[in-house]
Chains A and B, each alone.
Chain A
Amino acid sequence: MEKGRQFHFSEWLQSLRTKLNQGKTPYIFSFLYLAVGTALVYLSPRSLLAFLLFISSALVIFGLRLETRYKVILAAIALLILVPIVGVRNIFYLEVIFQISVFAALALGLNIVVGFAGLLDMGYVAFYAVGAYTWAFFGSQQPFLLHEIPGTAPPGTPFFLPADAFYLFVFIGIAVAALTGILLGTPVLRLRGDYLAIVTLAFGEVIRVLANNLDKPLNLTNGPQGITPIQRPTLPEPLLNGIRVVLNPLVGHNVSEGDFYNLFFYLAALVVILVVILVARRLDDSRIGRAWTAIREDETAAIAMGIPLVRMKLAAFACGASFAGVMGVLFAASRTFVSPESFSFMQSIGVLTMVILGGIGSIPGVIVGAAVVTILNLQVLQGFSLYLSQLRQSDSVIPLINFAWKDLSTQLDPAKYQKMVFGLILVLMMIYRPAGLIPAARRKRELAKEEAKESSDDDDSGAGLEAEEVSHGAD
């Protein structure tokens, strides 16, 4: 019976897609959707529904059958022009979108480890922490405070490095995190499945506890208080003024330096995401990616095929870790503050949730997973909490059962039920859609001759990401 219900839903979705995919409809529909979404957010910057409509236009653009070129242009307009305008108008939206981007990049990195190579890493945030603390240490006054009591800095302590060393540390962050991945992986990756999960979980905690306690004997991390201020790269004033001329009238107020920093880090996160997608796709479609999938599917058979197990696993671990490292550097700079709290076990679980929810091994799926979880977290649950508290203050009564809203317990606060809601979502997903929201697919290959014929047939359908792939289907 459950099977039947799931079938209905995907059938309905399928028929909707077919209807929308006829002739020129997808082009008009996707454009209108984006336009309406933007207009609504622009006109009512406080409406959650408008924002959800705007965000979901990404799904519409991605899901419809459009020429790749058109998709790219539309996505670029949305990401590079519309998001900055909407985001600077209501800076909270930019924060949400920035967080989505950060988590999408993290989830994509974890997806290489968990999705491609099948190594359950429960301490992924540790590598994020390593990247963050790398820049936090060198990009602050911390190197001069090694012998100070945590939290005290003599006045006039200079910064250790110039602010623009940030750009160099983006790469150093990658290297340090990758190295940490290899160091951890070398002893650990001989373990399988559950054992690996437990050891990585412990490693994640070790890094957090280290950050918490390395304020003595040498004050490296400033302990639980965290390191602040951390430098941000300098932004050239003339360029900012130039952008202000265009942006100020559009957003309706003077764009502050803080806004520009938010934009800068948002764009930086976008660049990282693009690089991660490119790297993940290219590796996946190569000898290394095939070896990873083989290891995931059957380790014994993979060894017998001549795949050097430990080396390939290390490569996956280092790849995933390096992306977490670069996001860590970005995070430290964007917040100008890091503390051990940001790297708790729940964060690792959160990123893992995104991967599982979106679709293990599926790049678009993982991005959607990151967006859904972040929005749920930051917006929907909190919005619902707010709504309930408003109801509580009102005099309204639920008809029929005669229940006054003001009698509702204040304990009932959806924002506090975050973990329960995630748990429920995961359980439901495992029952109804175990392969995730957008399941991973395998690439189709044809003989060289047939390929030429095929692509000429397919030309105007505009492949997109999915057209060339065989669906995994629900297993």
Chain B
Amino acid sequence: MALIETHNVTKRFGGLQAVGHMDFVVEQGRIVSIIGPNGAGKTTFFNTLTGIYRPEEGEIIFDGHHLVGKRPDQITSLGIARTFQNIRLFGAMTVIENIMVGMHPRLRQSMADALLRTGKFKKEETSAHDRAFELMAFVGLKEVGNELARNLPYGLQRRVEIARALASDPKLLLLDEPTAGMNPKETDEAVGLFRSLRDELGVTILLIEHSMRVVMDISERITVMDYGEKIAEGLPVEIGNNPKVIEAYLGRGAAELLE
């Protein structure tokens, strides 16, 4: 069953077409990658999925809901969470608070509940707080809960971002270059973590990634973008041998050479 599908999604900035006519499907429970050279429109495509940009044409259907025109916070509430290419944690908040911010759409307390410290409020805060610790344990963060996010080393910040995204109980998790800047060991651990997210939490994962090692290792399907358009789609093996893909990455000469 398709969890998210897009039809003919097009996003332009002035005369520049950043994403063009994207028809794209992610099946429930899959790990899917989007690859492509720099500037291919991958992140812009993410931003149209999460409502930060509104596409000029096309439609996006997620879990039975039409997403085009919805606000980002509404889309998050429906079950799409994301991480950012350049880590965007709330630096002056502690790790736990960062994760609790991620729970925002799931919490039901009102301003009056918070002011009067009602039983409902206390119960919800306690369970949110416990859940934050669970998520920290799940992504492998120990004893850093009370550290300010900006004081953590890079690798741990990536983990906090994932825990924060998971806090909204997403059905679909969008990871934007999640292993950028990691050393090989950290990368292997991250790949293991992504698998366990899918296997243990049942989250469908869509990732943008540049590291071919990661992409070939983890992806069940790969979509290749270039100049805003989809140029290839398929299993990792198929993509690796696709001349169009090689051309996009290495230029025509290289593609011919390989043939």
Q: Which residues of A come within 8 Å of B, CB atoms?
A: 279, 282-283, 285-291, 293-294, 296-298, 300-309, 315, 442-448, 470, 472
Contacts and interface: CB of A to CB of B under 8 A. Distances in A.
A445 B146 contact: yes
23 contacts: A290-B97, A290-B100, A290-B101, A291-B104, A293-B101, A294-B93, A297-B90, A298-B88, A301-B88, A301-B89, A302-B101, A304-B76, A304-B82, A305-B102, A306-B76, A306-B77, A306-B102, A315-B111, A443-B94, A445-B96, A445-B146, A446-B146, A448-B126
B50 A294 contact: no
A283 B101 contact: no
A446 B143 CA distance: 10
Contacts of B117: 282
B109 interface: yes
Nearest to B109: A287
Contacts of B76: 304-306
Contacts of B92: 293, 296-297, 442, 472
Contact of A448 (B115, B130, B164, B168): B130
B129 interface: yes
Interface in B99-151: 100-105, 107, 109, 111, 113-115, 117, 121, 125-126, 129-130, 133, 145-146, 148
Question: How many B residues touch the partner, as a band?
Answer: 35 or more
B146 A304 contact: no
Contacts of B126: 448
A306 B52 contact: no
Contacts of A448: 126, 129-130
B115 A304 contact: no
A286 B88 contact: no
B93 A290 contact: yes
Contacts of B168: 305-306
- Ranked nearest first, the 10 interchain pairs of A and B with the lowest CB-CB distance are A306-B76, A286-B114, A306-B105, A297-B90, A301-B88, A303-B72, A308-B73, A294-B101, A306-B73, A287-B107
A436 to B, nearest CB: 13
Given A282-B117, A306-B77, A470-B148, A288 B94 contact: no
B227 interface: no
Given A304-B52, A306-B102, A445-B145, 11 more contacts: A286-B113, A286-B125, A287-B103, A287-B109, A293-B90, A306-B105, A306-B168, A307-B73, A307-B104, A308-B73, A442-B94
